[in-house]
């Protein structure tokens, strides 16, 4: 995604302080080094000088404006915000894409987040890895955009929003990723939320679901979605009754990820809900080496911040609208993401 363009240009005002022979030599050395990829030792041998002399000439060429280096990334990526967000939250990777020109108030994650996340997974996943996918619109968009993955096993980390939509949701996302990689697929044919803990426990022991759960401790890279506690922006919120929503709201829930609820400081609340859910446990998520969260938009910005403070994710794909909020709010702790610390400890 990054390209370094180097051009040897005619001498500017500051470069004119160099004599013509120096200018010609510096331009030739710069061309060899930046455009032809030759080493300083190779250049030194060609020009009959020491490699230290070559290093000084190249440094002078930059200082005197004989060489200009441009860092180019695709227009939809915001490199400056990406780096600032990575540094602020101690993320391993942060990729910020431009928000849609006209973001709807009720818009979910921009679809281009999934496309960028698909490219990121292509970089992060290695042959033999186990890739975990949690339910979410953004992860489904990501799976649909996948066009390259090394051979790996793909496992579903949560049940589905509605078992009747499995063909269009997480099950299909797992199948798609496995098809691209040529690896095994371990889907979960069960709803994410069950009526009671006993039903959820019984389902966890069914052969297919138990087999998927056995892979949770082997997951090396995971992709998850984030929701804020409001209609249409949180899968869990939409599955609960009005009384249940009010109960969890009274506990201070500000965000949810993979059916785990968090307050604004990233602490888990409403843990009893997990007993009714088919999902990867938070402790297992924390042990996964690379957890990529995919979420954006103004309505999710505060929720993203809460989940980053939970220490459960290591990388983030988001948009400029959410990034601007995250860069102005105060982060809890110096590096909450990569430290993987539990705020409750």
Q: What is the pLDDT of residues 249-265, one digit of tens each?
A: 999 999 999 999 999 99
- What average pLDDT does range 19-44 have in this prediction? 86
- What is the domain partition of the chain in residue ranges? 20-64, 77-339
Which is more confidently placed, 77 or 206?
A: 206
What's residue 34's pLDDT? Answer: 87
Instruction: Give 5's pLDDT tier (boundaries 50, 70, 90).
Output: very low
pLDDT for 43 beyond 60: yes
Return the pLDDT at 288. 96
* Residue 141 structure tokens: 């968009």
- 77-339 carries CATH number 3.40.50.1360: yes
- What pLDDT digit, counting tens, does each position of 175-197 carry? 999 999 999 999 999 889 999 99
Query: How confident is the model at residue 69, as a pLDDT?
Result: 73
State yes or no: pLDDT of 174 exceeds 90.
yes
pLDDT over 80 at 208, yes or no: yes
Q: What pLDDT score was predicted for residue 336? A: 64
Q: Does the pLDDT at position 330 exceed 90?
A: no
Report yes or no on whether pTM surpasses 0.85.
no
CATH number of 20-64: 1.10.10
Residue 75 has pLDDT above 70, yes or no: no
Percent pLDDT > 70 in the chain is 85
The mean of the pLDDT values for the chain is: 85
């Amino acid at each position: 995604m990054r390209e370094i363009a180097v051009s040897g240009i005619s001498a500017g005002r500051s470069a004119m302080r160099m004599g013509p022979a120096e200018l010609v030599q510096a331009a030739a050395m710069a061309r060899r080094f930046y455009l032809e990829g030759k080493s300083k030792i190779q250049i030194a041998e060609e020009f009959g000088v020491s490699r230290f002399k070559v290093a000084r000439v190249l440094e002078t060429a930059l200082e005197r404006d004989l060489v200009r280096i441009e860092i180019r990334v695709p227009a939809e990526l915001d490199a400056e915000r990406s780096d600032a967000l990575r540094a602020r939250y101690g993320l391993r990777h942060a990729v910020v894409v431009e928000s849609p020109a006209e973001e709807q108030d009720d818009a979910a994650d921009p679809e281009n987040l999934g496309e960028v996340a698909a490219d990121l997974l292509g970089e992060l996943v290695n042959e033999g890895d186990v890739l975990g996918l949690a339910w979410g619109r953004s992860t489904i968009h990501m799976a649909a955009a996948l066009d390259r993955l090394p051979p790996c096993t793909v496992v579903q980390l949560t049940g589905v929003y509605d078992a009747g939509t499995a063909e269009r949701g997480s099950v299909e996302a797992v199948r798609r990723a496995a098809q691209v990689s040529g690896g095994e697929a371990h889907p979960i044919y069960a709803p994410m939320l069950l009526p009671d803990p006993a039903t959820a426990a019984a389902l966890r022991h069914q052969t297919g679901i138990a087999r998927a759960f056995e892979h949770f401790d082997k997951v090396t890279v995971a992709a998850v979605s984030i929701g804020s506690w409001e209609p249409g922006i949180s899968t869990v919120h939409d599955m609960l009754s009005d009384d249940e929503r009010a109960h969890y709201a009274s506990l201070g829930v500000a965000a949810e990820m993979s059916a785990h609820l968090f307050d604004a400081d990233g602490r888990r609340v409403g843990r009893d809900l997990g007993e009714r859910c088919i999902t990867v446990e938070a402790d297992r998520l924390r042990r996964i080496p690379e957890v990529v969260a995919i979420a954006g938009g103004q309505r999710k910005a505060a929720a993203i911040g809460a989940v980053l403070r939970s220490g459960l994710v290591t990388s983030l794909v988001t948009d400029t609208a959410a990034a601007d909020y995250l860069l102005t709010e105060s982060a809890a702790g110096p590096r909450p993401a990569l430290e993987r610390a539990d705020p409750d400890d």
